[in-house]
Amino acid sequence: MSSSTSSSRRSITPADVDALRSLLAGTIRRWSRAAEKPAGVVLVPTAVEQVAVAVKYASENNIDLAVKGGGHSTAGVSSTDGGLLVDLNAKLRGVTVDVDKKLLKVQGGATWADVDAAGVKHGLATVGGTVADTGVGGLVLGGGYGWLSGQRGLAIDNLVEATVVLASGEIVKASEQDNTDLFWALRGAGQNFGVVTEFVLRAFDQGDVWAGIQIYPPTPENITKIVNATNELYQPDANGKTKLLGRGAGGISFGRPPPAGGQVVIIVAIIYFGTEHEAKSVFKPFYDLTPLVDTTALVPYPNINTLLAPPIGFRASLKGLAFALPIRPGFVQEVLENYVEFTDKNEDARTSVIMWELFDPAKVVSSDTGSFANRGWVLNGIALPLWTAAENDQAYRQWARDVNELFKKELEAQQKLNGDAKGDAGPRSGKGAVLLYGNYDQYDERSKDIFGENYSRLQSLKARYDPKNVFNKLFAVTPQA
Ligand SMILES: Cc1cc2nc3c(=O)[nH]c(=O)nc-3n(C[C@H](O)[C@H](O)[C@H](O)COP(=O)(O)OP(=O)(O)OC[C@H]3O[C@@H](n4cnc5c(N)ncnc54)[C@H](O)[C@@H]3O)c2cc1C
């Protein structure tokens, strides 16, 4: 937005045109190719004031507005068909570290790789994405789970301040001191309230981590032993304490990784925030199973967010699953059979993954910050079909929904068994929201179900901060004063 002086003026070269083309292609790119749409106009801001001008203009002229953070939503909510796209990820992704205060100041388009790289230089880390290429923006504004959640809660529990461009174009700060109601709304329903151009996140001392993956053949015996060992570690006791005391995390997945020659395998991720000696004792049942592959080692913190990164360049549909402990080995076997059948029959979907994510939920459950309404003693899983041909979009998305149904039925059966099912409404959090992480389910659930009893307060805040509903793409909240 600066004009060139005559001394700096020069002719446009073919290299300039190529650079512009590649910048534009990058702005339209999304982690899932199925989430890309042709924007009418693209703004690549380098400063918050530029974002403010664009948002005000879109707002006043009723132009469809999309905001791209890391571009990982598979539901297309950071894309616009013909409208105005503000791509924060292209040039607004700096991270500065306040070492004394242990704060990370993160621009709105940064990825977790940017944050991890800046933090590790000072021995610091915060709760962030388990896949480093994911954006900070969408992940934090929708809650934010990470491998550190067992010790530090959600990403929103560690958000100290946000700089926000409101629908009016006004630039404001939100924190526990400033615009406290906006700050509450941002922490869970954030995408509805403005463009965050800077997040200030609390950071913690963090050294190397014992982490890696182990690969096992998917035999019934392995499934039973892995599931039983997992239950033993992650199941809270009557006081809500687990054996791991927040220090362990990981996951159990089914996949067909290329190194396994496309065979179905169980992939167990092991992450332990402690010494090798402790880790080997805590995770002994897994080591005793003699995995086919074991990459566990002491690694720098950023490495743990690359362990399970799915390949980039596919069409994809992230679908959230919810499960409670103890996991039933027979259920895992059923899911395996479903996975094998789907990936056997659909060559184009061979790279797909199903995963149970594991961490100690006690810390997340004990916090209550923000408008996020899905905290509970359930953990998240994902069904992630990955494919290439657009003609398969519907069928493969449907498969992910079917897997979600399997998990829902299992959770309902478990809760009935425990006598805490809530009638026909299905499993709900203490705030009346569905037990499903919204950021893992950006198309099927309704906003009222995601925000539960917080929805009506969000509606009145929406009437104040975004009365024309300019920010309406993800779990939209209808303004109501
Ligand atoms: C491979 C993969 C791994 C994942 N891992 C995790 C994980 O470990 N933990 C977890 O909690 N979630 C995880 N997720 C889910 C993730 O939180 C959501 O997909 C999230 O929407 C991604 O944010 P983004 O900025 O990359 O996405 P985008 O597609 O850019 O944006 C998603 C939404 O957020 C809005 N948005 C983005 N940035 C801003 C901003 N600065 N200001 C205002 N609005 C903004 C967009 O407008 C859009 O509505 C993962 C997803 C994928 C695909």
CATH number of the domain that 344 lies in? 3.40.462.20
Tell me the C-alpha distance between 232 and 210, whole Å. Answer: 20
Q: Are residues 269 and 245 in the same domain?
A: yes
Is residue 9 domain-resident?
no
Q: Which residues contact 46 (CB under 8 A, 6 or more apart)?
A: 91, 92
Which residue's CA is the closest to the ligand 1 atom numbered 51? Answer: 72
Q: Are residues 63 and 196 in the same domain?
A: no
Which residue's CA is the closest to the ligand 1 atom numbered 17? Answer: 139
Residue 148 structure tokens: 């550190």
Q: What is the mean pLDDT of the chain?
A: 94
Give residue 421's pLDDT: 42
Residue 1 pLDDT grade (very low, low, confident, very high; cuts 50, 70, 90): very low
Nearest atom (ligand 1) to Cα of 197: 41
HSE on the CB side for 227, CA within 13 Å?
22
Comparing 68-82, 191-205, 306-320, 438-452, the range with the smallest average pLDDT is 438-452
How far is the centre of ligand 1, averaged over its atoms, from the C-alpha of 74 (Å)?
Answer: 9
Q: What percent of the chain shows pLDDT beyond 90?
A: 86
User: Residues with Cβ within 6 A of ligand 1?
Assistant: 31, 67-73, 77-78, 88, 108, 129-131, 134-135, 137-139, 141-142, 144-146, 191, 195-196, 310, 318, 439-440, 473-474
Average pLDDT over residues 186-203: 98
Q: Are residues 25 and 102 in the same domain?
A: no
Task: Please tell me which residue, 8 or 467, carries the higher pLDDT value.
Answer: 467
Task: For residue 258, give the amino acid letter.
Answer: P
Is residue 4 domain-resident?
no
Nearest atom (ligand 1) to Cα of 134: 26
Residue 117 structure tokens: 């790289």
For residue 427, is pLDDT > 70? no
Helix (H) or strand (E) segment spanning residue 448: helix 447-451
Is residue 5 domain-resident?
no
Give residue 387's pLDDT: 98
- What CATH number does residue 31 fall under? 3.30.43.10
For the chain, how many helices (H) and strands (E)? 16, 20
Helix 393-417 and helix 329-345: axis angle, to 10°?
170
Q: Where are the alpha helices (DSSP H) in 262-328?
A: 276-282, 284-288, 301-304
Range of the domain at 50: 14-90
How far is the centre of ligand 1, averaged over its atoms, from the C-alpha of 140 (Å)?
Answer: 8
Q: Are residues 281 and 385 in the same domain?
A: yes
How does pLDDT run across 105-119, given as a tens digit for each residue? 999 999 999 999 999
* Closest by CA position to 26, among listed 413, 6, 18: 18
Among 58, 90, 122, the domain-final residue is 90
Is residue 1 domain-resident?
no
Question: Could you tell which of 30, 84, 141 is best to mutate to test the pocket of ligand 1, judged by most ligand atoms within 8 Å of the CB?
Answer: 141
Tell me the C-alpha distance between 144 and 187, whole Å. Answer: 9
Phi/psi at 386 (nearest 5 deg)?
A: -125, 130
Strand partners, 67: 86
Average pLDDT over residues 379-389: 97
Comparing 59-68, 103-112, 416-425, the range with the smallest average pLDDT is 416-425
How does pLDDT run across 64-83, given as a tens digit for each residue? 999 999 999 999 999 999 99
Nearest atom (ligand 1) to Cα of 316: 53
Q: With beta carbons less than 8 A apart as the criterion, state whether 208 and 300 touch.
A: yes
Is residue 395 domain-resident?
yes
Phi/psi at 406 (nearest 5 deg)?
A: -55, -45
Task: Please tell me which residue, 461 or 418, carries the higher pLDDT value.
Answer: 461
Q: Are residues 175 and 213 in the same domain?
A: no
What is the separation, in whole angstroms, between the first and last Cα of the chain? 37
Q: Are residues 425 and 338 in the same domain?
A: yes
Structurally, the chain folds into a number of domains equal to 3
Comparing 215-219, 328-332, 429-433, the range with the smallest average pLDDT is 429-433
Q: Are residues 216 and 200 in the same domain?
A: no
Peptide bond into 326 cis (omega under 30): yes
Q: With beta carbons less than 8 A apart as the criterion, state whether 199 and 159 touch.
A: yes
- What CATH number does residue 101 fall under? 3.30.465.10
Give residue 2's pLDDT: 43
Tell me the torsion sign for CA atoms 446, 448, 452, 455: positive
Decide the pairing of beta strands 65-68 and 84-87: parallel
Q: Are residues 117 and 69 in the same domain?
A: no
Q: Are residues 343 and 416 in the same domain?
A: yes
Is residue 8 domain-resident?
no
Comparing 129-143, 229-243, 276-290, 350-364, the range with the smallest average pLDDT is 229-243
Which residue's CA is the closest to the ligand 1 atom numbered 43? Answer: 195
Q: Are residues 187 and 326 in the same domain?
A: no
Helix (H) or strand (E) segment spanning residue 179: none
Q: 422: helix, coil or strand?
A: coil
State the DSSP string of 228-247: HHHHHHH---TTS--TTTT-
Give residue 425's pLDDT: 40
Is residue 136 domain-resident?
yes
Hey, how many other C-beta atoms are within 10 angstroms of the C-beta on 151? Answer: 19
Residue 33 structure tokens: 């190719």
Among 44, 71, 90, the domain-final residue is 90
Is residue 96 domain-resident?
yes
How far is the centre of ligand 1, averaged over its atoms, from the C-alpha of 36 (Å)?
Answer: 15
Q: Are residues 201 and 290 in the same domain?
A: no
Nearest atom (ligand 1) to Cα of 133: 1
Q: With beta carbons less than 8 A apart as the criterion, state whether 341 and 167 touch.
A: no
Q: Are residues 84 and 219 in the same domain?
A: no
Torsion of CA 17, 23, 28, 30, to 10 degrees: 140
